[in-house]
Chains A and B, each alone.
Chain A
Amino acid sequence: MRRKALSVSAAVLALGLTAACGGGSGSSQSQSSTGPIKVWLSNNPEEIAWGKAMVKEWNAKHADQKVTAQEIPAGKTSEEVIGAAITAGNAPCLVFNTSPAAVPQFEKQGGLVPLDSFAGAKQYIESRSGGSADQYTSPDGKFYQIPWKQNPVMIFYNKDLFKKAGLDPSKPQLATYDQFLAASKKIVAGKAASSAIAPAPTSEFFQSWFDFYPLYAAESGGKQTVENKKATFNDAAGKDVWNFWAQMYKKGYAPQEAYSGDAFADKKAAMAVVGPWAISVYKGKVNWGVVPVPTKDGMPASQVHTFTDAKNIGLYSACKNQKTAWNVMKFATSKEQDGKLLETTGQMPIRKNLASTYSSYFASHPEYKTFADQASRTVEVPNVPNSVQIWQAIRDSYSSAVIFGKTPVDESIAKAASKADDLAGQS
């Protein structure tokens, strides 16, 4: 009996192994097909409100091409859920929350449709987003995402805590690293808050977008971390940024331990690195002001670059009715819908001449005007192979040298750059 059980198990194993060895078969989607489609929306209330209203408007005019919208299913991150859906073949037609950093991976998986294959798509994207669109082209020169909206990150500060620390809340001196350090010292020494600023000191690959990268974009005058398949950040600007943050941690102005809430909202930190989405979140909770991210020697606000924190729209290859999906993409990124997105969420459509296009909105919402100005000087994550691995390599070295001070900055940044060179050069 035992021998037989073993034989049966072996047969099942062999069957499994045989099945495992089989590859997938190719299939092509008709790009001229129209009909009902499904879309996924981000799971924050404002974006859901905008998305549902947009879908309602579309459905009212296109009864035969009904769009069904739902939130991205729960998961550790949206990217993991989308990646799994691509592999399972049940990704929706459109995801209104496609991270630019994940696009190279989704593209490699065969999960995204190159939008250039639709007539006039390239011109549409470039005319809507202007020069910013270049940052979203893939190495093969095609668009696998439509640049949609961004949250240019800046420094939020708590005016009440600044006042308590003896700092002028109407003219905060935060333009240079020295000024930033001096202000931080006053905040912590004066016990206005336990930390001056509390970027997440955790190891997730994307955390560098909210400490290192915005300051590097500013200090370098708008460089990406990888350009022409080579890491750029092992330069004077990169080292200055790492050394600046290393001092913030070493002097105890930024905590090494993660705070399990929102340190800025809870007044545990007097500053935060956030985008315009935060305006509605902190409304009524924090008496805030906003300034551009600091640079070593300071520069006029009109020249400071920062990180986009953008989310885009991807058209996924599992989609049966791709023509409808493309038309919905255009509808959702029209001037009218972009205006509604801005009004509902406060996030900035990646559209050229944003401030002048929606001048009446910014006139009535002056708190958003600063972000609109900043939106014209933003830097996206590089669209290169192994993007997530590169960011993880940067994060690991940064954690070691900057957050925990275990290794010298020069050595760690060189190590991260060397790894980024290797990874960016691979296909």
Chain B
Amino acid sequence: MSATAAATSRASLASRVLGRQPLGILFAAPYAVFLAAIFAYPLCLAVWISFHDYFFAAPGAQVARPFVGLANYKAVLSDPEVRSSFYHVAEFLVINVPLTVVLALVLASALNRVTRARTFLRVSYYVPYVTASVALVAVWLFLFSKGGMVNQVLGPLAPSPSWLVNSALAMPVIALFVTWKQLGFFILLYLAALQNVSQDLYESAAVDGASRFKTFMNVTVPGVRPATVLVVILATITGANLFTEPYLLTNGGGPDGASTSPVFVMYQQGIEQGNPDTASAIGVLLVIAVLLISLVNRRILERD
């Protein structure tokens, strides 16, 4: 092989490995490293932990962490409290996700049309999203506790037991709270999407004599479908990771464990009880469930 051919071959190999613009790797590296350190490494570690008899130990401590196969998965799947937590979060998602989509889209459409106090209204809807949950929970406790404002307004119609200690109502109240808290963010997504819906379509609908409702259903809703896919997937992911609200609003997944969530049970088992192996197994199952739900959502919503 001649020297020129060898040089060409080396250049070709380098090009195959590093690409046509090797500098690009340098620019992408910080984010790749960030992703690897913050997401990939913990995720892989969680998967690894879920297949071992693992507990947190002091550095240098001689501890056995044998491979246990699917034992942790069997343990959590046969644990009624874990199963209940998945049912509870499913109940939460069934209420939260559709409500989020409907309210966010309707309010975004309304906000898109108003001309007066537009900024004030947008900021008003966004404030709960940027406010700490702890502060908002205090307000909701004031509203929904036994002697709270809601029950005082309802008078004899107030539920008994009251909202947050009622097994049937605790999770719906949490779902309402989360919907309200996150609405501002999803309204912003829809407002951005609404700017891309062609005005010609609205004008055509008006010419055809379509009512406001029909225009909304036949122009706006299909026009923001990509945003709806995003809203559904984001709401599902954040909803599946529910923790703060059962922890604070219903005092640790109460009443009688009626509002536990998988992440709350992970916290109990992994942090409080020192069993990160079963906690990791729950986490892995949750990731798989969320991926599947998101995939199904995407398939359904992107279908023409």
| A interface residues, Cβ below 8 angstroms from B | 1, 4-5, 8-9, 12-13, 15-17, 19-21, 23-27, 77, 79-80, 83, 86-89, 91, 105, 108-111, 200-205, 255-258, 260, 317-318, 386, 388-389, 392, 396, 399-400, 403-404, 406
Contact = CB atoms under 8 A, between A and B. Distances in A.
A274 B302 CA distance: 59
B58 A256 contact: no
28 contacts: A1-B24, A4-B25, A5-B28, A9-B35, A13-B41, A16-B36, A17-B44, A24-B59, A25-B60, A26-B62, A27-B60, A87-B56, A87-B57, A89-B59, A108-B57, A109-B61, A110-B57, A201-B251, A203-B253, A204-B252, A257-B162, A257-B165, A260-B141, A317-B58, A392-B272, A399-B256, A403-B256, A406-B256
Interface string B5-47: 0000000000001110000110010001101100011001100
Contacts of A26: 60-62
A372 B294 CA distance: 61
Given A13-B36, A389-B273, A258 B251 contact: yes
Contacts of B273: 105, 386, 388-389, 392
B147 to A, nearest CB: 8
B163 to A, nearest CB: 9
Nearest to B144: A257
Interface of B: 17-19, 24-25, 28, 32-33, 35-36, 40-41, 44-45, 48-49, 55-63, 65, 81, 138, 141, 145-146, 161-162, 164-165, 167, 251-257, 268, 271-275
Given A205-B272, A392-B273, A109 B45 contact: no
Contacts of A91: 58
A9 B61 contact: no
A386 B55 CA distance: 12
Given A110-B62, A203-B252, 16 more contacts: A4-B17, A5-B28, A9-B40, A12-B36, A13-B36, A17-B48, A19-B41, A26-B61, A86-B57, A109-B57, A109-B58, A201-B254, A202-B252, A386-B273, A388-B274, A399-B254
A255 B146 contact: yes
Contacts of A203: 251-254, 257
B88 to A, nearest CB: 14
Nearest to B18: A4
Contact of A20 (B17, B48, B275): B48
B41 to A, nearest CB: 4
A109 B274 contact: yes
Nearest to B272: A388
Q: Which has the most chain A C-beta neighbours within 10 Å: B33, B48, B251, B253?
A: B251
